[in-house]
Amino acid sequence: MNVPTTFGTPGGQSAGDPSGKQPVIELRMQQPMHEVENVEQRSPMNVNECHYGERRADLHDCTKYFSCAGEQKRFERRFCPQGQHFSERLNRCVAGDCQNGLIFGEGEQDSTCQESSGPSGYRIDTENCRKFYQCAQGKWVHKDCPSNLVWNPTALVCDWPQDGYQC
């Protein structure tokens, strides 16, 4: 995908250019650095408290986050690159998938759930790969994998770490 970008000098005039024409530089990129969605109406943040460059996690989808941008300094929803999720602790996208696009926010372990043997019945523990959450009797229960095993969110089981896997 080509993304044209234009830049100009303040006031539209550069030194030595009496015509007043604005110099334009067009950059072409193979893929966008990130996708952006304007969320002025849907942002959970108070847009009046937005500081340029500020980032906040999207509590409903860990592959997305909000970033304060633009002249009006409003939060825009941004998407992490494929295979990454937004780390609130590091304030950036980091490697690793999150199951169903969902991770726990503060206090969410106490939220109700519906038991299922499928992906919706389990959640990863983003702080410890040797632990996971399972829905039991409508509550999320924090569980440990047996020694030397790690949680495999694809197979929904504790599994041997793959070659090169770092926890």
Q: What angle do CA 68, 45, 121 make, to 5 degrees?
A: 110
pLDDT at 111: 66
- Domain membership of residue 85 (yes or no) is yes
Residues 37 and 89 in one domain: yes
Residue 51 located in a structural domain: yes
32 and 89 housed in the same domain: yes
Terminal alpha carbon distance of the chain: 35
Residue 83 sits in which domain range? 26-97
Structure confidence at residue 48 (pLDDT): 56
How many angstroms from the chain centroid is the CA of residue 3? 22
Number of Cβ within a 10 Å radius of residue 32: 12
Q: Are 110 and 58 in a shared domain?
A: no
The pLDDT, as a whole number, for residue 29 is 37
Mean pLDDT per 10-residue interval, the chain, length 167 residues: 42 47 41 44 53 83 86 86 79 70 51 81 84 88 91 87 70
Residue 12 domain-assigned? no
